[in-house]
Amino acid sequence: MKKYCYLPVVFGLFVANQLFAQSDDPKAIMKSLYSESLSNGQSYKMLDYLSNKIGARVSGSPQAAEAVEWGKQQMEILGADSVIMQEVMVPHWVRGNKEKGDILSDKIPGGAQHVPVCALGGSIGTGEFGIKAEVVEVHSFDELKKLGRKNVEGKIVFFNRPMDPTLINAFEAYSGAVDQRGSGAVEAAKLGAVAVIVRSMTLNHDDNPHTGGMHYANDVEKIPAAAISTNGADLLSKFIKEDSKTGFYLKMSCQTLPDEKSYNVIGVIKGSELSNEIVTVGGHLDSWDLGKGASDDGTGVVQSLEILRMFKTLGIKPKRTVHIVLFMNEENGLRGGTKYFEEAQKDASHKYIAAVESDAGGFSPRGFNIDTDQVAVNKINDWKPLFEPYGVYDLKKGGSGADVYQMKKIKAITMELAPDSQRYFDIHHNVNDVLEKVNPRELEMGAATLASMVYLLANFGTGN
């Protein structure tokens, strides 16, 4: 079995004289967490290995399987009281050869202009010879429906709704545009389209296409779905305005293989007093394949592992049990998050009080989005003065991480670490998702913030 003992993280993990005495003073505990993370943090070193030695980790791939084994061994090295391997069957989609996309128009010298495209995750391929057809541009599903079958059938639908640059929170801008990526192929196929092209989900104007998950419907014909870079989208839109007969040539060799067996990796820190109550924290191991999966979601994975390291190093013994979960298949199926929820729902011997996810990048932490009733949000806001010295001030009601949101159904409070959002979609799902785009200090600040929230939840509860 391959061993991943690459870290100096074992430097003093079990050295008793470096352990802090257990304290119920949250201010002192949080200070120790931030000091440890910023002085001795291991998140960046772990992320280096995960993103550069293992690399991109598409669900079902050999790299995803290697990441599972790496996660298990790290939890054992870092001193988890136990490690649970939670089996889950996951989809296995492969990109195949590099995609090809050309704008076709009499307005172009030579008749064709190459533009950067990539297959959306889960898409079918185009076949050996590709697809060539006229393009119709739309900005919404309503606009598509108004065109009707007579104007769509046999054509490629180009969804060109950009993210709204006026929204300060970039995740809100993403939410306002991403439905065309997820559902565009289904809606276009209903009207007889032969393929879809979707403007990349980023506020940047560049030549990097952004992949991401899409889905099909069982009762609608499957058609190929590709993303086009924002510069490519602007150029395509320009030619369509100049020439209503503008066409597009798309060639993709992606395909979906049979499901593969994989695992959620769960590291357990047993509670010292209320061991039957559980606080969950985690990130997802899988990633897309254009970059190295450093920010999405390598950062959440290593921040979660850093909680385990710091709790053990500092001698922090949570009153409630903590589950540190490395989820599998967030990107194109959520099967890991669903499996964890299903097993928790069946678990009559434990009460799951909170579930926290880090899946918004490794940038400077600003707060937490909290998906629960306002009473519980107000209670958690009582902790706001503890976070403010560290630049964390925004504890607000909002949506939670994709892997944990279902835990609401069993009355757990669900939350997501909320870093600064301005740069995230520059790197999201594209070739720029690499280690070099992650700032070590910002990453460790996020780890300390996540660890502090888990400590507060595990020791003081939520009142839910």
Domain boundary among 205, 237, 253: 253
Single out the residue of 311, 322, 324, 333 nearest to residue 282, CA to CA: 324
pLDDT at residue 228 tops 50: yes
Q: Is 1 among the domain residues?
A: no
- Res 13: pLDDT: 38
Residues 69 and 198 in one domain: no
Q: Edge-to-edge, what's the strand order for the sheet holding 413-419? A: 82-94, 255-269, 320-327, 274-284, 351-357, 413-419, 365-371, 394-397
Residue numbers of the domain that contains 147? 96-253
Q: Rounded to whole angstroms, how far apart are CA atoms 138 and 117? A: 18
Please tell me whether residues 202 and 317 are part of one structural domain: no
Which active-site residues does the annotation give? 330
**How many structural domains is the chain composed of?**
2
Rounded mean pLDDT of the chain? Answer: 94
Look at residue 11 and tell me whether its pLDDT is greater than 80.
no
Distance CA 422, CA 41 (A): 24
pTM of the model: 0.93
Asked if 82 and 64 sit in the same domain, the reply is yes
Domain shared by 391 and 246, yes or no: no
Answer with the one of 218, 253, 288 that is the final residue of a domain. Answer: 253
pLDDT band at 300 (very low <50, low <70, confident <90, very high): very high
Q: Per the domain annotation, does 2 fall within a domain?
A: no
In angstroms, the Cα distances linking 245 to 133, 232, 413 are 9, 18, 53
- Looking at the predicted structure, is the pLDDT value of residue 409 above 90? yes
Residues 124 and 197 in one domain: yes
234 and 273 share a domain?
no
**157, HSE (Cβ side, Cα atoms, 13 Å):** 34
Q: Which CATH number belongs to the domain containing residue 357 in this structure?
A: 3.40.630.10
Band of the pLDDT at 463, cuts 50, 70, 90?
low
Terminal C-alpha separation, the chain: 43
Last residue of a domain, one of 253, 287, 316: 253
Same domain, 40 and 81: yes
Does residue 348 share a domain with residue 236?
Answer: no
- Three-class SS string for 247-273? EEEEECCCEEEEEEEEEEEEEEECCCC
| CATH, residue 145 | 3.50.30.30
Q: What percent of the chain has pLDDT over 90?
A: 93
* pLDDT surpassing 90 at residue 9: no
pLDDT of 464 > 50? The answer is yes
Q: Is residue 3 included in any domain, yes or no? A: no
Are 84 and 129 in a shared domain? no
- Is 17 found in the same domain as 148? no
* Span 98-126, pLDDT tens digits: 999 999 999 999 999 999 999 999 999 99
Residues 303 and 164 grouped into a single domain? no
Q: What does the H/E/C string look like for 392-449?
A: CCEEEECCCCCCCHHHHHHCCEEEEEEECCCCHHHHCCCCCCCHHHCCHHHHHHHHHH
- Quote the CA–CA distance of 341 and 347 in Å, as a whole number: 10
If residue 83 lies in a helix (H) or strand (E), which one and from where to where?
strand 82-94
CA atoms within 13 A on the CB side of 196: 32
* Residues whose CB is less than 8 angstroms from the CB of residue 332 and which lie 6 or more positions away in sequence, other chains included: 59, 91, 93, 121, 122, 213, 286
| 166 and 291 belong to one structural domain | no
Q: List phi, psi (to 5°) of 415.
A: -145, 160
Tell me the per-residue pLDDT of 63-96, one tens digit each, with 9 for 90 and over: 999 999 999 999 999 999 999 999 999 999 999 9
pLDDT in tens, 184-211: 999 999 999 999 999 999 999 999 999 9
357-393 pLDDT tens trace = 999 999 999 999 999 988 889 999 999 999 999 999 9
Rounded Cα–Cα distance for residues 237 and 282 (Å): 41
Contact 232, 116 (CB under 8 A): yes
